[in-house]
Structure 1
Amino acid sequence: MADTAKLLPTTVVGSYPQPAWLVDRDVLTKNNVVPRVRLKEIWRVAEDALELAQDDATLIAIRDMERAGIDIITDGEMRRESYSNRFALALDGVDIDNPAVVTGRAGKPTTVPRVTGALRRRHPVEVRDIAFLRANTDRQVKITLPGPFTLSMQAHDEHYGDDEALAMAYAEVVAEEARDLVAAGADVIQLDEPWLQARPEQAMRYGVKAINRALEGVMGTTIVHLCFGYAALVKEKPSGYSFLPQLADSTAAQISIEAAQPKLDLGILSDLSNKTIMLGVLDLGTDEVETPAIVADRLRAGLRHVPAERLVAAPDCGMKYLPRARAFAKLKALADGAAIVRRELTA
């Protein structure tokens, strides 16, 4: 389990910048759309050498997080074209060769896979990822999975005929994967659920139900991450969540939210008094690197609503689209700012 003895532990949301020798960042950012189907042209390395190249990039991400002083690290998601499609496209019942087009979160046409049969895992998808991470660090380790609600919103259903049934089918396969990841060494499992915010009406009906099914039997620390989208792709963010207090009824131990860029009113955290809060205190939408003092101020603001024992310091969202130097500097400020407040609390 994640180290809960340390006050204000630091972590990342999931992704870290992939090296320019590994991915073509122009392709990555093309059309400002996160890929839901395969985007093989993103990779600069030949397919027969790609896995080893991804291993090397993962080691870079691990060492950067360690050097920055982050307590609970990930593999940086170096092997992923997007946060969701690595898992989503590895399932039986999904037609990835004949995609459909739906309206994305930002109202743009988005190409997505078709669900044409019962969803099943062919094999564990991310177990090698977490095993590699576990073998190469002595820190606490976390791995992320796309949440079942979000997966259901990023596919075109031609099999289940009901949006809730589709989400629950995804929840079954996510739960299987999550349990395998814990067995392979994960201390923390995080479900990425940005679409809860984008589709609040459906989320109210069955979002928490799907999350709870996806976390059934999953040991260790569990997190649900909500966000408004990558800062590089979403410039203007609302100042409040359309779906958040409802997660008090989820079985997740922690709720991860953006707060820095949207300047969130943290009073809403009182509705989540039964949860640990993974608080976004790094604004990824600005070129400015926060000082440790700024990070400390944002954490103090969180402490006005959440006791220190229930607060985890993090960036707002994934760092995939940032330049690596800026991402590292921001993580260093995160660790140093948390250390300032930690000293104040223990003095």
Structure 2
Amino acid sequence: MNKLPGLPLLPTTIVGSYPQPDWLIDREGLKSRLPPRVRARELWRVPEPWLADAQEAATLMAISDQQLAGIDIVGDGEMRRESYSNRLATALDGIDIDTPGTAIDRTGARNPVPRVAGPIRRRGPIEAQDAKFLKERAGGWVKITLPGPFTMTQQAQNDHYPDDAALAMDYAAAVNAEIKDLFAAGVDIVQLDEPYLQARPEQARGYAVEAIDRALDGVGGITALHVCFGYAYVHKGAAKPRGYDFLAELDACKADIISIEAAQPRLDPAILAELPSKRIMYGVLDLNDPAIETPETVAGRIRAALPFIDKERLMIAPDCGMKYHPRDVAFGKLKAMVEGTRIVRAELGA
């Protein structure tokens, strides 16, 4: 497998979110609750008439920080979202916005979620305008994220479909249409976030790969799939597993890249052998630790992975989204990630 054209060996990227500024969103309010599955407009500090402009300004900040840090594949930092999933999940037909349902979160708590009251359908593009803005302002390689169909199914109350598998397939059809519009807008990589593959592996074995493949069918661009153990901030104090319960199954899915969390859980890099046909976006920043890694620490984590994967298939990233971190910490960690990657590139003669 060749390296991605126009990118260096071991290309660096963010997973998804970057810290939103305090002037844009109530960060303390965001931290005081589980990640919202339904809309949480009360979190925004900027009144509605000026909110879109404020979110655009914050997106420019996120782009600038990544470029200053030296990131190769830039994202929008999810500045316009209250959580990674709720913006798309609540924009679809079939969702009763006025009467949320409830579901058990992966932390074991009950959380308000979208209530599916009719057929899930996409009305029109949701993120395409934002994707166009990202590509125009960032230039170079850009990546944008969407919640995956399996995770959205697990984060919903199903009051319409005969079973969750049927619901997931209609979510997948909506996501598929959205992905095609994102590629048409100029995005280079579209990433599906599917943390519930790890949280609910038994259900995942029933229908997750089929739903993911439906979402990625015929999309005509490079796709990624992120699987993690949850935000470090949300799961603070809880030990993370040392391995994935649902990973080898993903080697058969249509995604080109699998993004995994490795630094905080001290993942055994030998697990990379379970994904021989995929590029791997490998997490090298421990987001449970507020201390900024040294470049040498990052380099050591990359070196540990290289015996188990061809260097051309390896991409470098944080473990997960960075939205709960102070901006200076997040920026420092990204800069250390880039510098540590450069150390290893030099050792590899790249």
User: Is the shorter-chain TM-score for this pair beyond 0.5, marking a shared fold?
Assistant: yes
TM-superposed CA distance for 1:113, in Å, is 1.2
3-state SS of paired residue (1:208): helix
Q: 2:305 corresponds to which residue?
A: 302
Q: 1:25 corresponds to which residue?
A: 27
Note the alpha carbon deviations across 1:18-42, whole angstroms, 9 max, x for none. 00000001110123x1100111111
Note the alpha carbon deviations across 1:85-113, whole angstroms, 9 max, x for none. 00000000001210112211111011111
The 5 Å alignment of 1:203-214 reads: 203-214=204-215
Q: 2:183 corresponds to which residue?
A: 182
The 5 Å alignment of 1:313-324 reads: 313-324=316-327
Q: 2:115 corresponds to which residue?
A: 114
CA distance in 2, matches of 1:2, 1:311: 10
TM-score (norm 1): 0.98
Q: 2:347 aligns with which of 339, 344, 347?
A: 344
Unpaired segments ≥5 residues, structure 2: none
1:262 aligns with 2:230: no
Note the alpha carbon deviations across 1:123-180, whole angstroms, 9 max, x for none. 1000011111011012200000000000101111111121100111100000000000
CA distance in 1, matches of 2:307, 2:77: 31
Structure 1 pair 198/4, CA: closer, same or farther in 2 (3 Å)? farther
Q: 1:48 corresponds to which residue?
A: 49
TM-score (norm 2): 0.97
CA distance in 2, matches of 1:23, 1:6: 35
Q: Which amino acid aligns with 1:25?
A: R
Q: Which amino acid aligns with 1:113?
A: P
1:129 aligns with 2:139: no
TM-superposed CA distance for 1:190, in Å, is 0.3
Q: 2:282 corresponds to which residue?
A: 279
Q: Which amino acid aligns with 1:222?
A: T
CA distance in 2, matches of 1:79, 1:248: 32
Structure 1 pair 15/92, CA: closer, same or farther in 2 (3 Å)? same
Q: 1:15 corresponds to which residue?
A: 17
CA distance in 2, matches of 1:50, 1:3: 37
**Contact 2:281 2:315 (8 Å CA) reproduced:** yes
Q: 2:251 corresponds to which residue?
A: 248
The alignment yields a C-alpha RMSD, in angstroms, of: 1.1
Q: Which amino acid aligns with 1:220?
A: G
1:330 aligns with 2:322: no
Structure 1 pair 58/5, CA: closer, same or farther in 2 (3 Å)? closer
Q: Which amino acid aligns with 1:158?
A: D
CA distance in 1, matches of 2:153, 2:13: 27
Q: Which amino acid aligns with 2:32?
A: K
TM-superposed CA distance for 1:2, in Å, is 5.5
- Count how many residue pairs are aligned between Structure 1 and Structure 2: 346
Q: Which moved more, 1:69-78 or 1:97-106?
A: 97-106
Unpaired segments ≥5 residues, structure 1: none
CA distance in 2, matches of 1:264, 1:4: 30
TM-superposed CA distance for 1:4, in Å, is 6.2
3-state SS of paired residue (1:180): helix
Note the alpha carbon deviations across 1:181-204, whole angstroms, 9 max, x for none. 000011001000000011111101
Q: Which amino acid aligns with 1:314?
A: A
**Contact 2:7 2:72 (8 Å CA) reproduced:** no
Structure 1 pair 125/287, CA: closer, same or farther in 2 (3 Å)? same
The 5 Å alignment of 1:130-209 reads: 130-209=131-210
Percent identity (aligned): 58
Q: 1:70 corresponds to which residue?
A: 71
